[in-house]
Structure 1
Amino acid sequence: MFSPLSFLIGNRFSRAKQRNKLVSFISLSSTLGITIGVAVIIIGLSAMNGFERELQNRVLSVIPHAELEGVKKPITEWQVVMNKAVEHPQVVAAAPYVAFTALLERGSKLKAVEVRGVDPELESMVSKLPQFIDKQAWQSFSGQQKSVILGAGVAKVLGVNVGDWITALIPNENAQKRLKAPQRIRLQVTGLLSLGGQIDHGLALIPLQDAQRYMKMNNQVTGIALKVDDVLMARKIVREVGNTLPVYVYLKSWEQKYGFLFRDIQLVRTIMYLVMVLVIGVASFNIVSTLMMAVKDRAPDIAILRTMGATDGLIKRIFIWQGLLSGVMGSIVGSIIGSAVALNLTLMIKGLERVVGHQFLSGDIYFVDFLPSQLQINDVILVTMTAIILSLIATWYPARRASKLQPAAVLSAK
């Protein structure tokens, strides 16, 4: 198949002007089909890689991998629970938190948010939140100052900036666990959390001591946040930790709240691989039509080669090379175009959003407000090789038909 003679003749046949213009058109169409198919699949896979990267770098880096939450009441001996949890070899760090829901008010604007009381020093060990907050604001984040760090989306809804004051309406329970008029607490915005996604639109941070005081919890906490070394094994790890604790707690992992995102990305990736085979397969099998017509168009040339002593194998290899060269050309050009677009996809989509005046991904709905992209060389190689292999398979039947042509029948027909 790889003899120089068959390659040279096949290459000449593929570049030579066809007697039938329809053959040239179909040949060009099959090459363009493979090019577009390869490029689109590479761009799609790069987008899926980008979403997975942002999920890990933005969402899973700032939310707890797992949580130990008190059953019906706050955790009293939380230091004991936290120390016991970090004894597990796969638990990297732990931090206490107080969580509750509040209604933030600024003039006539209201926004319901999850308020999370955290210890800045311990929280930095389990989360990358400080990376998305102004460094000075995080360093000065401490109790007794009535400070709050708002998600950028929350601040936008309320129309506030750093330094402004807001009112927080916090649920208030009496001894009979009955709600009464909410507490109204004045808080000053000392920083903004800018993740560029859904978390920005529903989270507010306050110091742990202030949260305990507002909720009248003394030294108790709502739960313990854990960071593990293998985020995909968080559910198993938190169960193992729970079995070693001296108190009963709810065991939670990130999968309960955000697991659907990871599963959706993996599902779409699987579908993309299936679509890759189908799209490139359809484009590649256009080569069958091209070669069948090329065989008919080149019948006199085949007859002459046979009279000169060409074997069945040589004729077969000539047309395999002719079809394969179209597939290789389309695959290489498609991979170059797809890679170039994938590397600049985020900037291109942002530019398109500015032109049309519409944002395709809204941060209050999706976990990111832009279209991410990450090109991986393995995907480029996989897609390119798949296209070439399918092109090779598509050449087999026409090449076999060409090798069965009898020179006498062809020349007598002329």
Structure 2
Amino acid sequence: MLDRLPFLVGLRYVRAKRRNHFISFISLTSMLGLMLGVAVLILVLSVMNGFDHELRTRILGMVPHAKIEAREGMVEWQSLAEKLMQREHVEGVAPYVEQQGMFSVGGRNEGAMVNGIHPDWEDNVSIIGANMQRGELDDLVPGEWNIVLGSMLAQRLGVGVGDRVTLLVPEASITPAGVFPRLKRFNVSGIFSVGAELDASLAYANIEDMQTLGRLGDAVGGLRLELDDLFEAGNETQAILNELGPGYRGSDWTYSQGNLFQAIQMEKRMIALLLTVIIAVAAFNIVSTLVMVVTDKRADIAILRTIGATPRSIMGIFIVQGLTIGTIGIAVGVAVGVLLALTIADVIGWVESVLHIQFLDAGVYFISDLPSRLLFTDVRDIVLAAFGLTFLSTLYPAWRAARVQPADVLRYE
């Protein structure tokens, strides 16, 4: 019977109506604090995961996971592409020609990176084909000098499908009249939008047209790779370079976009740390609750000690009581947090429709809906952290209860 004493008495103390209503109020606030902290932390981390996932999907859907280039130009790229496709972690390969340039239309000038692509290969490494607002990639026919612009770039230039733009590249053409910058007029055949900053800095043309403009002959700038695990892009790129030998160079997405995702991960960790303080405050409110309960139950403790309860059993009673309060708060917080994380987009949409406001303007942000992505690992870590803080908060009150001396208490009873 004494072995079950901590559980029986501890649970009874939780259920019992206390004479001191202030103790009950502190217990309730501790439970509500834990619930609020856990729910908010789950919701915020889910939203951060949603933003991270959207950025990866949209930006890294346009930016290659890895690039392989030849120092002297890559002429026999088809055979190399077939060789790379046989590698275990390579899911797609496409040739490209990159050219930094400036578009000029009616006195408006905008710089951009123009990618020469092969329309039949581009879907292997990019999501541009699925994000065309107007036109199709198949309209990039060799010799017709068509071009596809990002939506923000087209808006800044004031052009649409059917208009013409002039591309100036930083290479000189020597003519009898002197040295002039190389330029070419393109027909705008399509507009794409991925909802990211890339819409203002990217354009696509046929690879043969860009080879002609750059006077590259049959050579391409290199091959872009799609990998099954983007976080292994650095290792996979190095392995490919080691296999190909000298004369080749490579890079991966971390060179151009790595700082952005590192900043997101750091922000997520800092927010998680700050919100954990809410859980810590609520958990350590349990200390106040249990200290007052110990003071209120000194006579009960003394009687239990006289009938054979050990100090360890007395500690167990108040640890069980504190953990029960914490577990209820954590469980309700997890339920509320998971529910909000799964429905936050609908909730925000309903609030916007009722109040006639828009929290995320697609013209300012790269998305118009609040994304949320619930991860089991986040919920698990939050529960373990909250439970650990709750357990730590029960130790001091339980230790004080175990030190109560029956003779000192019962002397005046």
* Letter matched to residue 196 of structure 1: G
Question: Quick one: distance in 2 between partners of 1:347 and 1:104?
Answer: 41
* CA spacing shift, 1:369–1:199, aligned 2, 3 Å: farther
Question: Quick one: distance in 2 between partners of 1:55 and 1:286?
Answer: 39
* Equivalent pair of 1:197/1:369 in contact (CA under 8 Å): no
Aligned match of 1:44: 44
Question: Offset at 1:196?
Answer: 1.6
Aligned match of 1:251: 250
User: For residues 36-70 of structure 1, what are the alpha-carbon distances to aligned partners after superposition, in whole Å with 9 as ceiling and x for unaligned?
Assistant: 22122212322333234234432323321111235
Question: Quick one: distance in 2 between partners of 1:369 and 1:216?
Answer: 42
* Equivalent pair of 1:198/1:363 in contact (CA under 8 Å): no
Matches within 5 A, 1:97-246: 97-107=96-106, 109-133=108-132, 137-161=136-160, 163-171=161-169, 172-174=171-173, 180-190=180-190, 192-245=191-244
Aligned match of 1:406: 405
* CA spacing shift, 1:157–1:7, aligned 2, 3 Å: farther
User: For residues 178-225 of structure 1, what are the alpha-carbon distances to aligned partners after superposition, in whole Å with 9 as ceiling and x for unaligned?
Assistant: 9624524141232x3222212222111122122223333332322221
Aligned match of 1:13: 13
Further displaced range: 94-103 or 131-140: 131-140
* CA spacing shift, 1:313–1:277, aligned 2, 3 Å: same
Question: Offset at 1:356?
Answer: 8.8
Further displaced range: 116-125 or 13-22: 13-22
Question: Quick one: distance in 2 between partners of 1:187 and 1:2?
Answer: 88
TM normalised by structure 1 equals: 0.84
Further displaced range: 290-299 or 104-113: 104-113
Question: Offset at 1:142?
Answer: 2.6
Q: Partner of 1:30: helix, strand, or coil?
A: helix
* CA spacing shift, 1:3–1:128, aligned 2, 3 Å: farther
Question: Offset at 1:353?
Answer: 7.4
* Equivalent pair of 1:288/1:394 in contact (CA under 8 Å): yes
User: For residues 310-332 of structure 1, what are the alpha-carbon distances to aligned partners after superposition, in whole Å with 9 as ceiling and x for unaligned?
Assistant: 54444332222211111011111
User: For residues 125-171 of structure 1, what are the alpha-carbon distances to aligned partners after superposition, in whole Å with 9 as ceiling and x for unaligned?
Assistant: 2223322236972344433344322223323334444x341413222
* CA spacing shift, 1:116–1:3, aligned 2, 3 Å: farther
Question: Offset at 1:258?
Answer: 1.0
Question: Quick one: distance in 1 between partners of 2:88 and 2:129?
Answer: 25
Aligned match of 1:295: 294
* Equivalent pair of 1:19/1:297 in contact (CA under 8 Å): no
User: For residues 257-301 of structure 1, what are the alpha-carbon distances to aligned partners after superposition, in whole Å with 9 as ceiling and x for unaligned?
Assistant: 011233334434444564565543343122112101111122233
Question: Quick one: distance in 1 between partners of 2:2 and 2:259?
Answer: 49
Aligned match of 2:332: 333
Matched, 1:66 2:66: yes
User: For residues 76-121 of structure 1, what are the alpha-carbon distances to aligned partners after superposition, in whole Å with 9 as ceiling and x for unaligned?
Assistant: 4444544554455543332211111233345454432211110011
* Equivalent pair of 1:166/1:188 in contact (CA under 8 Å): yes
Identity %: 35
* CA spacing shift, 1:264–1:353, aligned 2, 3 Å: farther
* Equivalent pair of 2:360/2:367 in contact (CA under 8 Å): no
* CA spacing shift, 1:170–1:135, aligned 2, 3 Å: closer
TM normalised by structure 2 equals: 0.84
* Letter matched to residue 381 of structure 2: L
Further displaced range: 404-413 or 379-388: 404-413
Aligned length: 409
* CA spacing shift, 1:378–1:241, aligned 2, 3 Å: closer
* Equivalent pair of 1:102/1:168 in contact (CA under 8 Å): no
Question: Quick one: distance in 2 between partners of 1:100 and 1:316?
Answer: 73
Question: Quick one: distance in 1 between partners of 2:2 and 2:52?
Answer: 41
Question: Quick one: distance in 2 between partners of 1:167 and 1:6?
Answer: 81
* Equivalent pair of 2:91/2:228 in contact (CA under 8 Å): yes
Further displaced range: 57-66 or 242-251: 242-251
* Equivalent pair of 2:149/2:188 in contact (CA under 8 Å): no
Question: Quick one: distance in 2 between partners of 1:281 and 1:359?
Answer: 31
Gaps spanning 5+ residues in structure 1: where?
none
Question: Quick one: distance in 2 between partners of 1:413 and 1:179?
Answer: 108
Aligned match of 2:35: 35
User: For residues 305-352 of structure 1, what are the alpha-carbon distances to aligned partners after superposition, in whole Å with 9 as ceiling and x for unaligned?
Assistant: 445655444433222221111101111111122212222334555677
* Equivalent pair of 1:38/1:335 in contact (CA under 8 Å): yes
Q: Partner of 2:136: helix, strand, or coil?
A: helix
Question: Quick one: distance in 1 between partners of 2:126 and 2:174?
Answer: 35
Q: Partner of 2:60: helix, strand, or coil?
A: helix
Gaps spanning 5+ residues in structure 2: where?
none
Aligned match of 2:26: 26
User: For residues 212-251 of structure 1, what are the alpha-carbon distances to aligned partners after superposition, in whole Å with 9 as ceiling and x for unaligned?
Assistant: 2333333232222122343222223223333444773432
